[in-house]
Structure formats: structure tokens, C-alpha cells
Amino acid sequence: MGTKRSTPGESPQVTPVDRHGLDAALRLFVGGFVVADKRTQIHTRLLAAERRLETLETLPRWIAVRTAPLEGADRSPAGLRTRFGELLGVRLDHLGATRTTIAHALDLGRTTPSLWVGDTGGIAMITSAGAPLLCSRI
């Protein structure tokens, strides 16, 4: 038997992330993107489910690095895939955390506030009420 090859129209695999993996991704995120005096609070709130949705909705105001709203082709999953390839990371919303690509995270983030943190820690994306924001330390 051969292996199934993915086709361009298929959704990428989404894998659940345990608490340890989420904690590691959040440490990367808050250490590189959040203003210093809010790092502990943001990390704690995003790790715990109780205030996660509220924290995700207000997250853009606590970002300390360069951000850019996704515009043009980058507003689509296909555009992000073209720009970044199959860049993997951890996506967090009010229901939990999963591993997926940046393009798929954008697609999933259209209906609910979320945070996607790239595995390298140099890029993140926030989806909320406004245009999705790309955060970069590069």
C-alpha cells in the first residue's frame, strides 16, 4: 500500500496540543511579543481556560513589537501559504490548543478570536474582531 498524498485543496492536519506544549508556545509568545509588565498575566490567562476568550480579544493592545494587519493576498489562507509555506505553530482559541499551519490558523480564526505562535518564536498571528494581525520580531 502507498501513502496518501495531500492535494492543494485539502485541509492540513490539526493535532491537539497538551498543556506542556501550550505552556512552551506561550512562553515563546509572551517573551518575544508582549509588553514586559503584562507577560506573566497574559501567560497565566491564556494558559487557563477561564479568562482565555477575554484575553484573546484584548491581546492586540499588549503587543510590544511591530504588527501589521493582514492585507491583500495575505488575508487569504492561500496568500499566507504562498508567503510562508507550510509554517507550523500552535493555535490557541477559547476551546483549546492545536498544532497547525499559519494558513490553516487564519482560516480557523475567521470565526473566533485566536492566537497562532510559530514554532520559531519569531512570528505570531492574532485574529480578533478587526483584521488579523501579523506580529514579527524579524
Residue type, 136: S
35-79 pLDDT, tens digit each:
999 999 999 999 999 999 999 999 999 999 989 999 888 888 999
Q: How many domains does the chain have?
A: 1
Whole-angstrom Cα distance, residue 136 to residue 138?
A: 5
- pLDDT value at 23 more than 80: yes
Domain span holding position 83: 15-136
Radius of gyration of the CA atoms of the chain, in A: 15
How many Cα atoms occupy the beta-carbon half-sphere of 70 within 13 Å?
27
Residue type, 11: S
Report yes or no on 87 lying in a domain.
yes
Report yes or no on 122 lying in a domain.
yes
8 Å CB contact between 10 and 81: no
How confident is the model at residue 111, as a pLDDT?
Answer: 87
Report yes or no on 33 lying in a domain.
yes
In total, the chain counts a number of residues equal to: 138
The model's pTM is 0.89
pLDDT band at 31 (very low <50, low <70, confident <90, very high): very high
